[in-house]
């Protein structure tokens, strides 16, 4: 492949999940980014638990193996962090030049970040730099330093570099923004349902404004199907994937779990009761858990807004055959995070 694209400038997006390690390679050498290849490998169920790496050698080897499936040497790798050790918050500050913001942002962040300020890395983005008025909107990002350093060391141990650590919420929005023109106007919610955790990103007028992580994922639903209906692990997996009909009782369970997720989203972002008009325009689902039967309908019924599955390949140019192995359109939703990471151009 390096012979086919000798001048390519590739970014490899690396999504280290608790069940799958996924990579997407995007070529940034042309006028528009172009997807070159995707690949994924499973992880043992206890290799990563609640975001903590329990089997470092296995995870490191799996990263190396899945990168090898791309058939290229990574030039630039971007991976993501999230969870309780990452804070993303839209705040209001007195309007000032960006250089002055850099001087005061650590002091300002003390009001919003519940960590020891000596232990965090901070970044920010002014959301309305051209606006007038005495106040301005700033997107504040804080991540625990040791979390970032651990992730960079993991990539180094896997033989990867140079590398950058991004925030999963921003990567999800990158993929959404690239593929949906409506991202630049109005407001919506991105809901990425993973194996153990659901990431919720509120966006408004072309920028993420709030992010939350909810302890809900496909793992819990599989466990409920086994515990309440006596299913084997294999059959529960097929029901969750929509490959086997679960019958009325199991369909009801799936719908109820979708309603519970919608309620958790409402609480997490203080979403007001919906009357079906104005404000929030849509909810976009992604992640493996987002494909569970009846989840989409349950969220739509509860929040009373249009809900749809996200597709990171909808407007992204692709090399022929790059996504040929996907079993169906709904499988595209699994790739929002790695594609969003790979859309970050090399530095």
Q: pLDDT by residue (tens digit) across 42-87? A: 999 889 988 889 999 999 999 999 999 998 888 899 999 998 899 9
| d(C-alpha 81, C-alpha 168), whole Å | 6
| d(C-alpha 84, C-alpha 268), whole Å | 13
pLDDT digits (tens, 9 = 90+) for 264-285: 999 988 765 554 445 788 999 9
pLDDT of the residue at 331: 86
pLDDT of the residue at 290: 93
| d(C-alpha 99, C-alpha 93), whole Å | 14
**The residue to which tokens 């209906």 are assigned:** 229
pLDDT of the residue at 275: 45
State yes or no: pLDDT of 1 exceeds 50: no
Task: Give me the percent of the chain exceeding a pLDDT of 90.
Answer: 74
Task: Give me the percent of the chain exceeding a pLDDT of 70.
Answer: 94
Q: What is the rounded average pLDDT of the residues 113-118?
A: 92
Q: Of 277, 335, 312, which is closest to residue 183 (Cα–Cα)?
A: 312
pLDDT of the residue at 330: 66
Residue 205: band (very low, low, confident or very high) from pLDDT cuts 50, 70, 90: confident
What burial class does residue 313 get, using C-beta atoms within 10 Å of its C-beta: 0-12 exposed, 13-18 middle, 19+ buried? buried
Residue 172: band (very low, low, confident or very high) from pLDDT cuts 50, 70, 90: very high
User: Which residue ranges form the domains of the chain, and what is each CATH number?
Assistant: 10-85+145-343 (3.30.420.40), 86-143 (3.30.1490.300)
| d(C-alpha 73, C-alpha 127), whole Å | 36
pLDDT of the residue at 130: 85
Q: What are phi and psi of 314, to 5 degrees?
A: -60, -45
pLDDT of the residue at 210: 86
pLDDT of the residue at 131: 87
Q: What is the rounded average pLDDT of the residues 4-19?
A: 79
Q: Rounding to the nearest 10 degrees, give the CA dihedral for residues 102, 13, 333, 64.
A: -140
pLDDT of the residue at 4: 40
pLDDT digits (tens, 9 = 90+) for 123-150: 999 988 888 889 999 999 999 999 999 9
pLDDT of the residue at 60: 96
Residues 6+ apart with CB under 8 A from 150: none
Q: What is the rounded average pLDDT of the residues 179-208?
A: 90
pLDDT of the residue at 337: 98
CB atoms near residue 53 (< 10 Å): 17
State yes or no: pLDDT of 258 exceeds 70: yes
Q: What is the rounded average pLDDT of the residues 154-164?
A: 90
């Amino acid at each position: 492949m390096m012979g086919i694209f000798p001048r390519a400038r590739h970014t490899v997006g690396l999504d280290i999940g608790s069940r799958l390690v996924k990579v997407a390679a995007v070529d940034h050498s042309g006028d528009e980014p172009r997807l070159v290849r995707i690949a994924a490998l499973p992880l043992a169920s206890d290799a990563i638990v609640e975001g903590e790496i329990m089997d470092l050698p296995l995870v490191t080897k799996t990263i190396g193996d899945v990168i090898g499936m791309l058939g290229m040497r990574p030039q630039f790798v971007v991976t993501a962090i999230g969870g309780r050790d990452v804070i993303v918050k839209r705040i209001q500050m007195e309007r000032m030049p960006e250089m002055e913001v850099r001087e005061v942002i650590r002091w300002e962040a003390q009001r919003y970040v519940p960590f020891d300020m000596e232990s965090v890395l901070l970044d920010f983005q002014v959301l309305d730099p051209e606006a007038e008025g005495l106040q301005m909107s700033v997107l504040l990002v804080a991540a625990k330093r040791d979390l970032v350093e651990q992730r960079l060391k993991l990539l180094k141990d896997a033989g990867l570099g140079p590398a950058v650590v991004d925030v999963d919420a921003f990567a999800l929005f990158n993929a959404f923004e690239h593929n949906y023109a409506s991202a630049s106007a109005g407001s919506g919610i991105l809901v990425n349902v993973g194996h153990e955790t659901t990431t919720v990103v509120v966006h408004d007028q072309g920028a993420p404004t709030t992010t939350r992580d909810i302890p809900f994922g496909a793992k819990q639903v599989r466990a409920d199907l086994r515990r309440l209906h006596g299913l084997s692990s294999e059959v529960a997996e097929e029901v969750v994937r929509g490959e086997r009909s679960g019958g009325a009782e199991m369909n009801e369970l799936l719908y109820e779990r979708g309603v519970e997720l919608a309620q958790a989203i409402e609480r997490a972002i203080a979403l007001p009761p919906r009357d079906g008009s104005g404000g929030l325009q849509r909810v976009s689902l992604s992640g493996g858990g987002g494909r569970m039967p009846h989840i989409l309908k349950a969220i739509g019924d509860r929040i009373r807004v249009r809900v749809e599955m996200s597709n990171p390949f909808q407007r992204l140019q692709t090399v022929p055959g790059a996504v040929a192995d996907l079993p169906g359109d709904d499988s595209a939703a699994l790739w929002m995070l790695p594609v969003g990471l790979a859309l970050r151009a090399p530095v």
